[in-house]
Amino acid sequence: MANALVVRKSLLPKSQIGSRAAQYVRMSTDHQQYSIENQAIVIGAYAQARNLTIVRTYRDEGESGLRLRNRAGLRQLLDDVQSDHADFDHILVYDVSRWGRFQDTDESAHYEFICKLAGIKVQYCAEQFENDGTMLSSIVKNLKRVMAAEFSRELSTKVHAGQSRIVRLGFRHGGPLGYGLRRELFDEQHNSKGLLKKGELKCLRTDRVRVREGNPDELAVVRWIFQQCLDKTPDAKIARTLNQQRIPTGWDRPWNGRFVAHILQNENYIGNIVYNRQSHKLGTRKVSNSPDAWVRAQRCFPPIIDPDIFERVQRILRSRRIEIDEAEMLTRLRRALHKKGRLNQTIINDTSGLPHVDTFIKHFGSLRQAYSLIGYTPTERDWSYLDTKQV
């Protein structure tokens, strides 16, 4: 339609906007069946048949319909409606699912109700019902909202099943790549297409990625880290040594104890690929899954670390885990203070029997708060860092 995706700015009195409409268009990915242009064509035809003039376009491209916070277009629309800046009295949307696939259908109804309170009607142009407030339209609309939410749940389940199958076949599923490892791209005939550089992604859905050994110097560092752990060297001390020797991490940041710990726990170094350690589905918070829910493919590529050495390291790491309550944490922190005469992150991480700095921050909000609870005031000039490093 000629007025599809047209944007005009002109605020008019309420009495002069009886046949004016805004359109809201959204697509989740570039491969979606109904593109924004196709939505606009249907909306334009709907508007023309009802003598409506489209004067404003709100759009969200490449955005999921699961939540509002990442959809600048819809948020702007609602803001214009609530602030009385809307120079239209209709909002045209392709269908119920484009308005949103909110997992709580009341959320979708709430945003529509905001428009209704402002005297603005929301119309779904490709649906087989008129959004006229009748009992039939209300029932069908609510059913459509439930179906839109269920589609996302079913799609999430199918995506998880597909990723699990890919991992079981020995292919990489995504996520951060371990230090000293590389990605090799293969086509659907299992022919290599070369190594992927940092930041490069596969272009075809049928392509697959395998993990491969990287730079020999980096692999030597990995083996040295495992040997240091066998020698009972703390992770923080390993990181300091690597920084002193100016060994790059490959991530434009220095080594730290957490980075070392991730290497020591990474099964990629014995040729395994592990998927679903954590999950973050449908906008919910990321959660850690129990080991029985992990998807593991073994011996996908030659091991960099001997499996026996890897298992010995895992036993050492498990023995480091300290299960104590907060009162005992503070008691041990106070004992370390009396022994060392001062406290800082390095002393805490290197002291046997003390939880990691991150654990203190998780339980007490910041190191400064933990220090105050034992009556200690550090002399180091890093107060701002102690205050801002919170979880």
* Residue whose token pair is 């020698």: 231
**pLDDT score of 146 more than 50:** yes
Residue 213 dihedral angles phi and psi, to the nearest 5°: -65, 145
Task: Report yes or no on 190 lying in a domain.
Answer: no
Q: Are residues 142 and 33 in the same domain?
A: yes
Residue 3 backbone dihedrals phi, psi, to 5 degrees: -100, 10
- Percent of the chain beyond pLDDT 70? 90
On whether residue 160 sits in a domain, the answer given is: no
Number of domains the chain contains: 3
Long-range pairs for 244-252: beta carbons < 8 A, 24 or more residues apart: 247/221, 249/179, 250/179, 250/198, 250/218
Final residue before a domain boundary, out of 298, 320, 342: 320
DSSP 256-291: -HHHHHHHHH-GGGGT-EEE-SEE--TTPPPEEPPG
Between CA 68 and CA 65 the distance in angstroms is 7
**Which residue type, as a one-letter code, is found at position 151?**
F
- Which pair of structure tokens corresponds to residue 123? 């119309």
Reported as type and span, the H/E element at residue 39 is helix 36-49
Per residue in 72-90, pLDDT (tens digit) is 999 999 999 999 999 999 9
Give a yes or no: residue 192 inside a domain.
no
Over pLDDT 90: what percentage of the chain? 54
In this structure, is the dihedral angle defined by the CA atoms of residues 225, 229, 230 and 234, taken in order, positive or negative?
Answer: positive
Q: For 229-271, what is each residue's pLDDT tens digit?
A: 999 999 989 999 999 999 999 888 899 888 999 999 999 999 9
Q: Specify the CATH number for the domain of residue 115.
A: 3.40.50.1390
How far is residue 261's CA from residue 264's CA, in Å, rounded to a whole number? Answer: 5
For the chain, the C-alpha Rg in angstroms (whole number) is 28
- 221 versus 357: which is more confidently predicted? 221
Last residue of a domain, one of 125, 152, 179: 152
* Residue 246 confidence (pLDDT): 94
| End-of-domain residue from the set 152, 184, 201 | 152
Among 96-100, 188-192, 284-288, 359-363, where is mean pLDDT lowest? 284-288
Identify any residues that bridge with 208 across adjacent strands, giving them in sequence order: 186
**292 and 244 within one domain:** yes
Structural domain contains residue 282:
yes
For 284, the domain range is 214-320
